[in-house]
Structures are given as structure tokens and as C-alpha cells.
Amino acid sequence: MLVQGKTYRTIRFKDHQKNSIEIIDQRHLPHRFALETLSSSAEVIRAISEMQVRGAVLIGAAAAYGMVLATREAAREKNPNRYIHETAKQFKAARPTAVNLAWAVDRLEQAILVGNTPEERLTLAHTAANALVEAELVACRKIGENGLPILRALFEKRPRQPVNVLTHCNAGWLACVDYGTATAPIYAAHAAGIRVHVWVDETRPWNQGAKLTAWELAQQGIPHTLIADNTGGHLMQHGMVDLCIVGCDRATARGDVANKIGTYLKALAAKDNHVPFYVALPLSTFDLTLQDGIKEIPIEERGAEEVTKITGWTEKGFQTVHLAGPDTPAANYGFDVTPARLVTGLITEKGICAADSTTIQKLFA
């Protein structure tokens, strides 16, 4: 997508030899657009755990590329297989909730271990990582195409008004490689001449909405309004939201969806106010080994200081300020689970489907 009019992806190999990876360091947005080079698998793991890159699809893509670096590193090790396996484990432990991470790492590990020589393994790693990333790219584009009719139908009902979409967190192109998941139908609608306005939840405590979603929508010229996470229910009560679209970090076989903490509250408000609530996700985000998302999906707990302090921009650069007293205890759960009964539909690269076991099973047939 566009950054200051120029096309970017969130991640790419920097050189033809694939010795290093270039990412957008998302911790500095929207105040500074900074690219960063990662030259080892350890650096990629740290970039994932410290949220320089984040979002289910993007951390899968970063781990796939990181496993290519690990393959090269393994050639210098006494026990390359063990190195690859240990590195794969470290990748998977970097963030626990999004299933795309483990999915990508497992696929890469399997592909790599088929090779006999270091050169063969490197070629296999390259091919597998590229295939995975390109497939995710196509999946996101298709999520856009498949979600477009929902926005078109709402627009045609009231063609003089923009379609008001509420989204939570950032499931935009910054969370993927390009297009985004939740934003893909919005970008597709905008390109098709449909007027869209997006209510952007700021998404405490990490503020992905305020930092990332608002910024990426502005870069593509999509009208939007930033709101505190508390606001969505009021807007829905007053008919100011036509549609919710959110992303997903892990979906179960029966259609329960883990997404950024607070998503469940918006799904409840949508249900209470008859607002359609869609979840956009590629098939790689399904974990068909799980049924009951609330009981079974592991929820990441992060540091209390992400709640008690915040870093923002001042004339003198970034500054961290205390929001609470120095001894205030805080808890920081990263995700919550929205039960399938609150989900109007799942927008996938294979089409829109209901959030139930039978329909989901057919996606994978």
C-alpha cells in the first residue's frame, strides 16, 4: 500500500542473497516512518516479541523469512537440525496467541529438513517462505474482493451517505504483508468508488488503532475518526455504525475468534444493536485443533508497564509518561475471544462463510 504516495510492503528481503530482511519498525508510527534491517533469526525473534512487527499475518511472514536466515545460520552449526528446531521453538514462543506464527514456522521447518545439503536447504527455505508470503498476499487481496459486496450493499441502501465501518486494533496492511484483512474490503470499496468512513478504536493499551490504523487509512486517503475504545457502543446505539469488521489472531473449528482485547465488547454491542459484525481472516488463522476458544486459546499476558506508562511524540522526540501512580498494580491481557454466536460472518479468501463447524470444515475441503 501507499506511504507518502510510494508503494511498500511491510516486509521484504533486502538483498538478492536474502541475507537480511527489511521491516517497517511499527513502534515509531505514526510519528516516524522508519525501516529497519534484521540480519539474524535472533533479531527477527526480538522484532516479533517487541512488536516492531505485529499482526497475525505479518508475524507469520516474518517468522517464515526469519527461518530462511536460520537455515543459513544452521550451516555453520555442528548440529544444524537441532539449531533449526531450537530456533523454530523460539519463534513460536515469541508471541503465543496468533496461530499464524506456529503455522508458518512449522511449514518452513518441514520444508527445510527435506534438503540434504546446506545449499539445498537454503533453496527450499527460500521457496517455501516466498510461497507462504505470496499466498498470504493473494489471500488478503481476495478477502478484499470477497468483502466488497457487503460494503456495496450498505452503500446502495443510502448512496449519499458514507458507509460507517468500525474496526478495532490494526488488521490493516501493516498487520499483513499488504492489503490487510479487516481493511482489505475497505480498500477495495474505496477503489470501487464507494464512500467509506472508518471509526478507529484507539485500542489500548498498545494503541494500534491510534498509531497504525489511523495512519494507514490517512495514507490511502480514507476518511476516518479516532475514538476511545469505550465509544463504539454509544455510536451503535445512535445508528452511527453500519458495519464492524475486525481481524483475527486465531479462529477455532467452530468459529470462536481470538482478536485484540476488547473485540468481544464490540461484538456484544453490535449484536445488541443489530449491527453486522464480520471477522476477516485468511485460512492460515484457523486452528482446527481447537473448538472452545474461550477455554482453549492461550491469551498472551504482557507487561504491566504497557498499561501504566505510555510513549508518545513531543517536539523533542519520543517521551514516556506515567499514566498511573508509581506503585499501581496493573494487568495486561493481549487478546479476548469472541464466541461464534456473535459473529455475523467470516470473510476469507475462499468467500464469506458462517461461523459454524460445518461451514468452516467446507473451507478446508
Q: Quickly tell me which residue has 455510536 as its cell.
A: 235
C-alpha cell at 309: 506508562
Per CB under 8 A, 5 contacts a copy of itself: no
Per CB under 8 A, 135 contacts a copy of itself: no
Q: Quickly tell me which residue has 476516518 as its cell.
A: 224
Strand, coil or helix: what is 77? coil
Residue closer to a copy of itself (CB basis): 46 or 234: 234
What type of residue is 9? R
Please identify which residue in 226, 353, 354, 363 interacts with a copy of itself, judged by CB under 8 A: 226
Per CB under 8 A, 286 contacts a copy of itself: no
Q: How far is the CB of 259 from a copy of itself (least distance, A)?
A: 11
Whether residue 205 contacts residue 199, with contact meaning beta carbons closer than 8 Å, is answered with: no
Please identify which residue in 138, 227, 288, 363 interacts with a copy of itself, judged by CB under 8 A: 227
Beta carbons within 8 Å of 169's beta carbon, 6+ residues apart: 175, 201, 203, 208, 209, 213, 246, 247, 259, 260, 262, 263
Choosing from 201, 242, 249, 336, the catalytic residue is 249
Please identify which residue in 113, 299, 353, 354 interacts with a copy of itself, judged by CB under 8 A: 299
Please identify which residue in 42, 265, 354, 363 interacts with a copy of itself, judged by CB under 8 A: 265
C-alpha cell at 182: 479487516
Instruction: Kindly determine how many residues on this chain lie close enough to bind a copy of itself according to the rule CB under 8 A.
Output: 63
What spatial distance separates the first Cα and last Cα of the chain, rounded to whole Å? Answer: 32
Among the listed ranges 71-79, 101-109, 183-191, 202-210, the one in contact with a copy of itself (CB under 8 A) is 202-210
Parallel, antiparallel or unpaired: strands 277-280 and 243-246: parallel
Q: How far is the CB of 184 from a copy of itself (least distance, A)?
A: 22
CA distance 101 to 49: 11
273-295 b/e (C-beta count within 10 Å ≥ 16 → b): eebbbbbbbbbbbbbbebeebee
What kind and span of H or E run contains 166? strand 163-167
Among the listed ranges 16-24, 113-121, 159-167, 327-335, the one in contact with a copy of itself (CB under 8 A) is 327-335
Per CB under 8 A, 301 contacts a copy of itself: no
Among the listed ranges 18-26, 106-114, 159-167, 223-231, the one in contact with a copy of itself (CB under 8 A) is 223-231
What type of residue is 193? G
Is residue 178 annotated as a catalytic residue, yes or no? no
Burial of 145 (0-12, 13-18, 19+ CB in 10 A): middle
Per CB under 8 A, 288 contacts a copy of itself: no
CA distance 310 to 328: 14
Q: How far is the CB of 312 from a copy of itself (least distance, A)?
A: 3
Q: How far is the CB of 134 from a copy of itself (least distance, A)?
A: 31
Please identify which residue in 46, 158, 234, 362 interacts with a copy of itself, judged by CB under 8 A: 234
Per CB under 8 A, 34 contacts a copy of itself: no
Residue closer to a copy of itself (CB basis): 40 or 220: 220
Length of the chain: 365
CA distance 182 to 213: 10
Please identify which residue in 82, 333, 362, 364 interacts with a copy of itself, judged by CB under 8 A: 333
Point out which residues pair with 12 in neighbouring strands: 22
Interface map 144-163 toward a copy of itself (x if CB under 8 A): --------------------
Site of interaction with a copy of itself (CB under 8 A): 30-31, 202-205, 207, 210-211, 214-215, 218, 224-235, 237-238, 260-262, 264-266, 268-269, 272, 294, 299, 304, 307-314, 319-325, 327-333, 335-337
So which residues are the catalytic ones?
249
